[in-house]
Amino acid sequence: MSQEKEWKPLELVKVSASYLASKAVPNPRLDCEILLSHALHLGSRINLYAAFDQTIDSHSLAEFRDMVRRRASREPVSRILGEREFMGLTLAVTPAVFSPRPETELLVEGVLAMTLPVASPLANTPPAETPEAREEVTADLDAILDAYAGEAGEEEEEEEGEGEGEGEPRFDLAPATARRPSRVGPRAAPAGPTPAPPAIAILDLGTGSGCIAVALADRHPTASLTAVDVSPEALSTARLNAAACHVAERISFHQGSWFAACPAGETYDVVVSNPPYLVRGDQEIWPEVSRFDPEIALYGGEDGLECFRAIIAGAAARLTAGGSLFLEIGAGQAPAVTEILVQNGFAPPEIQDDAAGHPRVLAARREN
């Protein structure tokens, strides 16, 4: 009986990434690095490369092979691992929730930029170690790869390019492993004592996994959060994530549809939402999205704007004077959503593009 081949991490990543690329899986090398790091309990892709000479045991090899098989069927990495990193936080991802996307960090960053003083340490600190921050060390890791695996570095870069396809992905249609450069970075704080951020009330509509509410509670020390979702299963996941990130006491969770679930008479300084905005039948939606994210979190009616109409129509009555509404939108939806905002008494919004150049976040103030 022949003995099974012994595998080292870099060699296994190379072979597995080539296999995923042949199945048209996007970001094959990155996904293999994340999955193998998890199978080996290394905690980080950096540690994977530091363990270049480690022989992979049979149990870890079998676990990794099963994960690669699932990824080849287009199951997202976040679904395979049951977790997703967002704003430096590790969040549970269950079948009941939409897997957090990198571009939604723009939404959180926009709220923080408006509500935190420039001098606040939290405003000056980039995310702890987001997938984007780790991607910045790829050049250093490639140097290690070249040193210990010959030409593997060049070949894997070619394979990754083949898997990703031409141009940047549309993040609303792409799987959750799509990446964008981090938009948060250190800013020079003025001399003198750091002012305490003012207390602020924030409402997160359609909280899902709780990624927005949990990240805001984690980053904004004086924010009180209200998080709403129509799905009790999604709220269970959000509560789990809030507890795991030690912010549960700062977030009030309510089940129901949009503003109907909010406590009567309560108003907010900020309303933020990443609502369903895809159109059913869009052929550009990636299988990682259409097959694995819950439909209730994806589709916004026949034109993708149904949820925006409901949220915008009810927001003015729930915002304090001068309060702001932050919305994540789909590619090409900025003109239509802007029109709905203005029709409902909001000032024309500020617009933030994503890494692919698509308008992605709208921020509009309630006009007094």
Cα–Cα distance, 206 to 272 (Å, whole number) = 9
Nearest-angstrom CA–CA distance, 274 and 247 = 20
> For 275-305, what is each residue's pLDDT tens digit?
999 999 887 888 999 999 999 999 999 999 9
Backbone torsions φ then ψ of 321, nearest 5 degrees: -55, 125
pLDDT confidence of residue 341: 97
343 Cβ neighbours under 8 A, 6+ residues apart:
none
pTM more than 0.85: no
Q: What pLDDT does 193 receive?
A: 60
Taking residues 197-213, report their average pLDDT: 94
State the distance between the two ends of the chain, measured CA to CA, in whole angstroms.
80
Structure confidence at residue 359 (pLDDT)? 95
pLDDT of residue 5: 82
Mean pLDDT of all residues in 324-329: 97
Farthest-apart Cα atoms in the chain, separation: 80
Q: Which domains, and CATH codes, for the chain?
A: 9-73+132-164 (no CATH), 94-126+185-365 (3.40.50.150)
- Residues 52-63 have a mean pLDDT of 92
pLDDT at 173 over 90: no
Read off the pLDDT of each residue in 228-253 and give the average, rounded to a whole number. Answer: 97
